[in-house]
Amino acid sequence: MKFGINTFLFASPFNQEKLHLLKDFKEMGFDGVEIALENKGDFNYKEALSMLKDNGLECCSVCGAYGPGRDLRGSKVEQKNAMEYIKDCIDACSDLECDLFVGPHYSSVGRAGFVPPSEKVEQWKTVVKNLKEVCKYAGDKGVYLAVEPLNRFETDFINICRDAIRLIEDVGSPMLKIHLDTFHMNIEEKSIILAVLSAGENLYHVHASENDRGAPGTGSVNWKSLRDALEQIKYNRYIVIESFTPDVEIIAKAASIWRETEKSSRDLAVKGLKFLKGLFA
């Protein structure tokens, strides 16, 4: 098992001034880095790749930032913005020698409300159509898109693994995969084991975070169930710590992080990594 760290724990945006963090991530003991790319060209991709390699790291994934205005089921302008952003991130993956772009690619985060079933059907058709186009672009670049179900407070569209499976079936592209997050699963799934088993070979990415968004191993997430299920499907890709602290104010506000769960972002990362390495030892 390989372990990575999401840059949102330390910076927003992750830009040229933050590239020095890559050395810190290696010192903490991580194998890879998940770079949250908020806007095209936030940093020099070639320089970042060189620094990753110099520190014995790899870019395990690029993480999408779907704020207002980027929405594959939104207005025509929002759809266009989202499509352009997704293609920019796919290009970034290619430049960073990374084969995976992860996140809630289907909608802007925070869009959650009741809509009539007929409207939901139309939204679904729109997302499927748009994902078919970007998956073709991704296929030409050799980059997979992994769709992340979010909890009910962050989206009304894809909440559980079964939703993601249906989306993959409807899009019908080998480039579309599944990304599961323990924080969201802990809220929405009846069983973490069953969610992972149902994803099976389509599971390409796992985010590790506690029920309070803190360090893995410090809360109520059933980590042994996750481990057993991942071993059963022979999962051999990355587990990435995606947790948050109030240190990064923009992300803390977006993720409703109002209190400290650890003394610092570094403490959270190191503690979480130690737990995960022990869990899968």
Q: Average per-residue pLDDT in the chain?
A: 95
pLDDT tens digits for 146-195? 999 999 999 999 999 999 999 999 999 999 999 999 999 999 999 999 99
CATH number at residue 206: 3.20.20.150
pLDDT tens digits for 61-108? 999 999 999 999 999 999 999 999 999 999 999 999 999 999 999 999
According to the model, what pLDDT value does residue 244 have? 79
Reported pTM: 0.95
Q: What distance lies between CA 66 and its chain's CA centroid?
A: 11
DSSP secondary structure, 118-145, as one string: HHHHHHHHHHHHHHHHHHHHHHHHT-EE
According to the model, what pLDDT value does residue 138 have? 98
List the beta strands (DSSP E) in the chain.
Answer: 2-6, 32-37, 58-64, 100-103, 144-147, 176-181, 203-208, 238-241
Residues 6+ apart with CB under 8 A from 117: none
Domain total for the chain?
1
pLDDT tens digits for 124-135? 999 999 999 999
Place of tokens 């803390």: 252
According to the model, what pLDDT value does residue 158 have? 98
Q: Which helix (H) or strand (E) holds 82?
A: helix 76-95
Domain of 200?
Answer: 2-279
pLDDT tens digits for 213-267? 999 999 999 999 999 999 999 999 999 999 877 676 777 667 777 777 878 999 9
String of b and e for 219-235 (b: at least 16 CB within 10 Å)? bebebebbbebbeeeeb
